[in-house]
Amino acid sequence: MERAGVTPDQTLMVGDSRVDYETALNASARCCLVAYGFSHHTLDGVPTGEASVVPDATRLAEVIGRFVSEE
């Protein structure tokens, strides 16, 4: 974020694991998790409502589109 010159509010972390969720949380960034990918089985324990969880790339595109339109 520092190199890109953006704030946490301007950042959307996309990931597929609890570690990705925790990284976004620690950076105060928003988070969207995908229920597919390399680590999809590690989403157990991610608090519901704290991060968007999407089942496929189409829904991911929708989340990113909404995020970008907020800027």
Per-domain residue ranges for the chain?
Answer: 8-70
- pTM of the predicted model as reported, rounded to 2 decimal places: 0.82
Whether residue 21 contacts residue 14, with contact meaning beta carbons closer than 8 Å, is answered with no
Under 8 Å between Cβ of 15 and 21:
yes
pLDDT by residue for the chain (71 residues), tens digit each?
Answer: 999 999 999 999 999 888 899 999 999 999 999 988 776 567 777 776 767 889 899 999 999 999 999 86
